[in-house]
Amino acid sequence: MSQAYNAYGQPVGSNLDCWQSPSAPDAEPLVGRFCRVEPLDAAYHAASLWQAWRMPAPEFANDPDARARWTYLGGRPFDDEAGCQAWLSRMSVGRDPLCYAVVDPTDGQAAGMAMYLNIVPTDGRIEIGHLSFSPRMARTLMSSEALMLMMAHAFDMGYRRLEWKCDALNAPSRRAAERLGFRFEGVFRQHRVVAGRNRDTAWFSVLDAEWPAIRECHRCWLAPENFDTAGCQRQSLSSMTATISPS
pLDDT of residue 1: 62
Closest CA to 118 of 50, 164, 160: 164
Omega within 30 of 0 (cis) for the link into 97: yes
pLDDT of residue 150: 98
Q: Is 188 exposed, middle or buried (0-12, 13-18, 19+ CB in 10 A)?
A: middle
- Residue 134: which residues within 8 A CB-CB, separation 6 or more? 49, 52, 53, 55, 69, 111, 112
CB distance 98 to 150 below 8 Å? no
pLDDT of residue 129: 96
Per-residue pLDDT of the chain (247 residues; tens, 9 = 90+): 678 999 999 999 998 988 999 999 987 899 999 999 999 999 999 999 999 999 877 777 677 678 888 999 999 999 999 999 999 999 999 899 999 999 999 999 999 999 999 999 999 999 999 999 999 998 899 999 999 999 999 999 999 999 999 999 999 999 999 999 999 999 999 999 999 999 999 999 999 999 999 999 999 999 999 999 999 999 999 999 999 887 7
Q: How many CB atoms lie within 10 A of CB 148?
A: 26
Q: Is 225 exposed, middle or buried (0-12, 13-18, 19+ CB in 10 A)?
A: exposed
pTM over 0.85: yes
Rounded to the nearest 5°, which phi and psi values hold at 3? -75, 135
